[in-house]
Amino acid sequence: MEINDLPKLHSDFSVDCVVFGFDKGELRILLIERAEEPFKDYLALPGNLVYDNENIDQAANRVLTELTSLNDVYMEQLYTFGDVNRHPQGRVITVAYFSLIKVKKHTLNPLSTYAKKAQWCAVADLPPLAFDHQLILEKAYKRLQNKIRYQPIGFELLPEKFTLSQLQQLYEVILEKPIDKRNFRKKILSFGLLIELDEKQKNVSHRAAKLYKFNKTRYNNLKKMGFSFEL
């Protein structure tokens, strides 16, 4: 069942997912192109109704899995949007989720009837979105900007193996400000949360950078002991 098939609703719950990715030096989100009214042909956040027999978190995971075939991604509840008039066809309260995924790791699935296709769009340069999805995105982006400074979630957006410059660029793009290279490296390495690999970049026309992995196990242990990551 799809929201648009319904006549005037009493009230319904949906979930909408703000799925961030990082690719070609830009922060992107996953949007679908709507095939039906209202907001036909607009871009929108992927979302769906919450089934009677599933928890809200499950519904959000389901939406994401249908799109990407990925489980096991970083996901958290963002905020609930429920203004009386946010949906033109009746009251739909939507719980927005916030997700970070590794773009390269998967391809996008073909979609059901209500959406033509899913695509990665640069956050910096978006057309108007359907419903109040612009508002939801803004809230999500602020959350990302805040959270990345005091939780090591940036790694969720990078490949398993990454260079320090990639990591720095990610922070610069998200925080929208330049960062000093030497100070950044000193700080990020001082946490002892990066594993230096015996491997380097390949096929780059300059000195190849070392690759690193994030040590999640160690982070979880340190966190239990009161350690706090803070950039």
Residues that bind its own copies (CB under 8 A): 10-13, 50, 52-56, 77, 79-80, 82-84, 91, 93, 95
Q: Which stretch binds DNA (CB under 7 A): 19-27, 93-101, 117-125, 199-207?
A: 199-207
Between β-strands 9-23 and 47-49, what pairing exists: parallel, antiparallel or unpaired? Answer: antiparallel
Decide which of DNA, its own copies, none touches 53; Cβ closer than 5 to 8 Å per partner kind. Answer: its own copies
Residue 167, exposed/middle/buried by CB under 10 A (0-12, 13-18, 19+)?
A: buried
Q: How many other β-carbons are positioned within 10 Å of the β-carbon of residue 42? A: 16
Beta carbon of residue 95, minimum distance to its own copies (angstroms, whole number): 5
Decide which of its own copies, DNA, none touches 149; Cβ closer than 5 to 8 Å per partner kind. Answer: none
Residues between 130 and 189 with contacts to DNA, criterion CB under 7 A: 163-165, 180-183, 185-187
User: Binding-site residue total for DNA (CB under 7 A)?
Assistant: 20
d(CA 200, CA 212): 9
Beta carbon of residue 53, minimum distance to DNA (angstroms, whole number): 48
Beta carbon of residue 64, minimum distance to its own copies (angstroms, whole number): 17
d(CA 151, CA 166): 18
Residue pair 126/140 in contact by the 8 Å Cβ criterion: no
Please confirm whether the linkage preceding 38 is cis (ω < 30° from 0). Answer: yes
Question: Closest CB to DNA among 106 and 186?
Answer: 186
Please confirm whether the linkage preceding 88 is cis (ω < 30° from 0). Answer: no
Residue pair 170/153 in contact by the 8 Å Cβ criterion: no
Beta carbon of residue 148, minimum distance to DNA (angstroms, whole number): 15
Question: Closest CB to DNA among 74 and 191?
Answer: 191
Q: Does 53 bind DNA (CB under 7 A)?
A: no
Dig out the tokens for 16 from the structure.
């909408």
Question: Closest CB to DNA among 85 and 203?
Answer: 203
Q: Does 207 bind DNA (CB under 7 A)?
A: yes
